[in-house]
């Protein structure tokens, strides 16, 4: 397993799969807890996405590096220790650099520890692949997660506050859709995005079918 050649083709695949084909939010539907709680504004979503990506990349790197030394009986505990380390570091870093965003995100930073996306990547990928692939996979997944959160956060902020990155878009008379900044709004928005994505998927496969029939 370790002696595989690093083909650029495979690197590219491992990188892009997290962004679209196996997107953690839209396809795997992992990490719902931070998704619901903190994607009420674009900036919060972005901060959460960045923090998660940081933890994911750091832990994937370490786990992959140590994969030969960690006995399988204690692997989960070791992963958790590694993940928790990076989460704590991310917590301090955010608190030191962007205290306002840190206050908004509150306990959800610490809760990255239990984000199943991260532990899932360690168990399913980083612990079985060489460091290069593990990091590329983590970067792809991290970007995919952050992008999905950002999409949700932007949509919810625009509807729920009438602003984007804090800049008002519609003038003072805008009536905010309060539900969008509450957790139910996260469910609704995610559902609508999934609806649109599936609809596109169906149309694509249907048109492919009709093309095959015609051929």
Partner 1 sequence: MEAPRQTPAYRLIVTLGVAGFLSGLIIVSVYEWTRPKILAHQAESLRKAVLEVLPAAKTMRPLVEVDGAWRIAPEGGATAGAGTAGAESGSGDGASGSSTSAAADGADDGAAGGKEAAPGERAFAGFDDSGSLVGFAFEAEGGGFQDVIRLIYGFDPKAREIVGMRILESRETPGLGDKIYKDPKFVHGFDALAVDPEIVLVKGAGSGKENEVHAITGATISSRAVVEILRTSRAHWDDATPQDTSMDRTRVSEKEEVQGGS
Partner 2 sequence: MTTTGSDLVLQSPPFDSARLTTPKLMQEVTLATVPVLLAAVWFFGITALFIVAAACAGAMGAEWLFGQRTATGRRGATLGDGTALLTGVLMGLTLPPTIPLWMAFVGGLVGIGIGKLVWGGLGGNIFNPALVGRAFLQAAFPTALTTWRASGGADTLFHVDKGAFAIPFASSGVDAVTTATALSRMKFDAEFLPWLDLLRGNVAGSLGETSAGILILCGIWMGVRRLYDWRVPVTILVTVAVLGQIFHFVSPEKYPDALFMLFSGGLLYGAVFMATDPATSPTAPRGALIFGAGIGVLVVLIRLFGGLPEGVMYAILLMNATTPLIERVTQPRIFGR
Q: Which residues bind partner 2 (CB under 8 A)?
A: 162, 170, 173-175, 177-180, 182, 184, 188, 195
**Stretch (H or E) spanning 167:** strand 167-168
Ramachandran quadrant class, 176 (left: phi over 0; alpha: psi -120 to 50; beta: rest): beta
Q: Is 96 in the site for partner 1 (CB under 8 A)?
A: yes
Q: Compute the distance between CA of residue 159 and CA of residue 142 in angstroms, rounded to an integer.
A: 26
Contact 215, 207 (CB under 8 A): no
Residue 72 binds what, of partner 2, partner 1, none (CB under 5 to 8 Å, by partner type)?
partner 1
Q: Which of 16, 95, 110, 163 binds partner 1 (CB under 8 A)?
A: 95
**DSSP structure class, residue 162:** S
Q: Which of 60, 78, 122, 154 binds partner 1 (CB under 8 A)?
A: 78
Contacts of 185 (CB under 8 A, 6+ apart): 40, 156, 159, 160, 177, 179
CB of 201 to partner 2, least distance (A): 16
Q: Which of 3, 8, 73, 172 binds partner 1 (CB under 8 A)?
A: 73
Ramachandran quadrant class, 31 (left: phi over 0; alpha: psi -120 to 50; beta: rest): left
CB of 14 to partner 2, least distance (A): 35
Segment 16 to 55, residues that bind partner 1, using CB under 8 A: none
Q: Give the contact letters, 147-186, x = binds to partner 1 (CB under 8 A), - = no.
A: -----------------------------x-x--xx----
Q: How many CA atoms lie within 13 A of 76 on its CB side?
A: 4
Q: Compute the distance between CA of residue 109 and CA of residue 96 in angstroms, rounded to an integer.
A: 14
Residue 68 binds what, of partner 2, partner 1, none (CB under 5 to 8 Å, by partner type)?
partner 1
Q: Is 110 in the site for partner 1 (CB under 8 A)?
A: no
Contact 47, 101 (CB under 8 A): yes
Residue 88 binds what, of partner 1, partner 2, none (CB under 5 to 8 Å, by partner type)?
partner 1
Q: Is 113 in the site for partner 1 (CB under 8 A)?
A: no
Contact 26, 148 (CB under 8 A): yes
Residues binding partner 1 (CB under 8 A): 67-74, 77-78, 81-82, 84-85, 88-89, 92-93, 95-97, 99, 127, 176, 178, 181-182
């Amino acid at each position: 397993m370790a002696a595989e050649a690093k083909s650029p083709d495979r690197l590219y695949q491992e990188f892009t799969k997290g962004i679209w084909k196996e997107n953690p939010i839209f396809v795997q539907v992992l990490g719902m807890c931070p998704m619901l709680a903190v994607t009420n504004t674009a900036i919060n979503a972005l901060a959460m996405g960045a923090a998660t990506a940081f933890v994911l990349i750091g832990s994937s790197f370490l786990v992959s590096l140590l994969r030969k030394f960690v006995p399988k009986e204690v692997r989960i505990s070791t992963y958790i220790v590694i993940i928790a380390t990076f989460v704590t570091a991310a917590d301090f870093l955010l608190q030191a650099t962007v205290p306002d965003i840190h206050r908004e995100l509150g306990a959800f930073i610490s809760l990255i520890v239990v984000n199943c996306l991260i532990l899932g990547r360690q168990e399913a990928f980083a612990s079985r692949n060489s460091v290069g692939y593990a990091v590329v996979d983590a970067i792809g997944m991290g970007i995919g997660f952050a992008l999905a959160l950002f999409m949700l956060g932007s949509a919810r902020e625009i509807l729920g506050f009438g602003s984007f990155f804090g800049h008002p878009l519609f003038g003072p008379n805008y009536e905010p859709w309060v539900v969008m900044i509450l957790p139910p709004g996260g469910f609704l928005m995610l559902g609508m995005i999934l609806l649109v994505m599936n609809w596109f998927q169906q149309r694509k496969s249907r048109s492919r079918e009709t093309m095959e029939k015609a051929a």
